[in-house]
Amino acid sequence: MNEIRYKKVSEKIRIVRLTLGYSQEYMAQELGISQNVYSKNERNIKDAPLERVVQIFEILNLSIAQVITEQV
């Protein structure tokens, strides 16, 4: 996955989070991490642990297929 694709995934996560009305603080609490760490993960998803990315998708009710095909 190239850099542009990672940025699009990060942006999609942010948009869906905001659409659902979830704050970064809420997401961090659900993940058991600090808001600062969540913010860094959301901005640069390629550096987040894969397990955390899967957890983020689950919280946002996103499938990997939706993210990859850009269907939300």
For the stretch 35-52, pLDDT in tens is: 999 999 999 988 999 999
Give domain 3-67's CATH architecture: Orthogonal Bundle (1.10)
Q: So what's the pLDDT on residue 1?
A: 52
**What is this structure's pTM?**
0.85
SS3 67: helix
Boundaries of every domain in the chain? 3-67
What are the phi and psi torsion angles at 26 (to 5°)? -60, -45
Q: Is the model's pLDDT at 2 over the cut of 80?
A: no
Q: Which two tokens stand for residue 18?
A: 């905001």
Q: Which of 3, 34, 70 is nearest to 44 (CA)?
A: 3
Place of tokens 């942010």: 14
| pLDDT at residue number 66 | 80
Q: Is residue 69 over pLDDT 90?
A: no
Residue 69 tokens read as: 């095909």
> Is the per-residue pLDDT at 25 higher than 80?
yes
